[in-house]
Amino acid sequence: MKDECGICGRVLRTTCMRKCQRCQKLYCRDCMVPDVATGDPMAMVCLHCARRIVSPRTVSKYEGLERHLKFRAAFTSQVKLPFARIDGLIGSNLPMAAYRETAWWSNTSSSAHAKAWLKAGWEVQEVNFKEGYAVFKKVANVPFKKTRQKKLEINKPFTPVPVHIPRSKVPSKTKVSKLYARIKNMERQRNEPKQLRGLKGRPRH
């Protein structure tokens, strides 16, 4: 069985890969480090989880509401959102003050929730606690910041990398003389009669 590493993309055998203790995914050993939170060398985590532990990303609770208002700003200037819909956008329940107090929906940048819709270019126009909805009105056009890859500009003509021609190594004179002497000995042994070959290695007595 083989699997692909989630970071470097190398395809290795599952026996050569290890499972991250946090995300429970398989990675190669080069893409894993000991758990930086506990310091246990036996508990291995991937580089993604290690980065999240060392420098966690601070995400606002109302970031989902901000993204939704930026999306709706492309084709409308007024949005009516029920409180249940806002709960789904932020992934949590609104505080009890949002269902009772009008001051919670004030357009002041001092609060984190108001900063979300103000950053998107919207303001709260109306709040109905009885029916449970809020009306937002667009007051500014906030452009989307799309990260595009820069095109590679070639200003100079392409110059290929110089290829170094390997030089043939000339053997030394000592090696040549040894090889020549070996060839001569082999020729001499071939020219000797077979009877002398057998008697050559025997002692005289």
Q: Is 4 exposed, middle or buried (0-12, 13-18, 19+ CB in 10 A)?
A: middle
Q: What is the pLDDT of residues 149-199, one digit of tens each?
A: 555 565 666 566 565 666 666 667 787 788 888 888 888 888 876 655 555
Total count of residues recorded for the chain: 205
Q: Is residue 99 part of a domain?
A: yes
Strand partners, 17: 28
Same-domain pairing of 33 and 71: no
The residue segments making up the domain with residue 87 are 63-138
Q: How many domains does the chain have?
A: 2
End of a domain among 87, 122, 138? 138
End of a domain among 112, 138, 164? 138
End of a domain among 104, 121, 138? 138
Same-domain pairing of 14 and 44: yes
pTM: 0.46
CATH number of the domain bearing residue 41: 3.30.40
